[in-house]
Amino acid sequence: MKKIKLQAEIEVASDISELNSTDAMLLLRAKEVAKDAYAPYSNFKVGSALLLENDKIVIGNNQENASFSVTICGERNAIFSASAQYPGVAIKTIAITVISSKGNLETPVPPCGSCRQVIYEMETRHKNNIRIILQGDSGDIYLINSIKDILPLLFDSRYL
């Protein structure tokens, strides 16, 4: 039996001042929209702001429901909105942040599996990598070049 080693390289900024102006603006916009998330069950608010190739910014936040299966994450909310409003326009960057009921969550929170799959589908659809910026309530900021860096075993159309 052999083993396969999977690795990812993530750039880490210790403060928003280390980001370029566009990335900083997206992260601040994501933080702003997280405040308006509807999360009465989890008290875990997610905000997302994405930059399209046409330089439009689209926002999204999580919207919970008592029937948990119909809840939508902030990332997918923004991605699906972008796809509906600007069909055919690729996403360049997505910033994702949280407001946690636990207080000051200093660890960046990665997208859930469903959101990772949707981000990958958008990368595949538009044949471009989507940069991902992650931050918790505060603390380190992760800069990721592509969803493939944090989703190394991808499910795609090859299997269908």
* Residue tagged active-site, from 75, 106, 121, 123: 75
The pLDDT assigned to 131 comes to: 98
Please state, in angstroms and as integers, the Cα–Cα distance from residue 148 to each residue in 14, 68, 79, 82, 93, following that order. Answer: 23, 27, 17, 21, 14
What distance in Å separates the CA atoms of residue 47 and residue 59, rounded to the nearest whole number? 8
The predicted-structure confidence for 16-65, as pLDDT tens digits, reads as follows 999 999 999 999 999 999 999 999 999 999 999 999 999 999 999 999 99
pTM value is 0.94
The yes-or-no verdict on residue 155 having pLDDT over 90 is no
Domain coordinates of the chain in residue numbers?
A: 11-159
The predicted-structure confidence for 76-129, as pLDDT tens digits, reads as follows 999 999 999 999 999 999 999 999 887 788 899 999 999 999 999 999 999 999
Fold of 11-159: Cytidine Deaminase; domain 2 (3.40.140)
Q: What is the DSSP letter of 103?
A: B
The yes-or-no verdict on residue 10 having pLDDT over 80 is yes
75 catalytically annotated: yes
Q: What is the mean pLDDT of residues 62-72?
A: 94
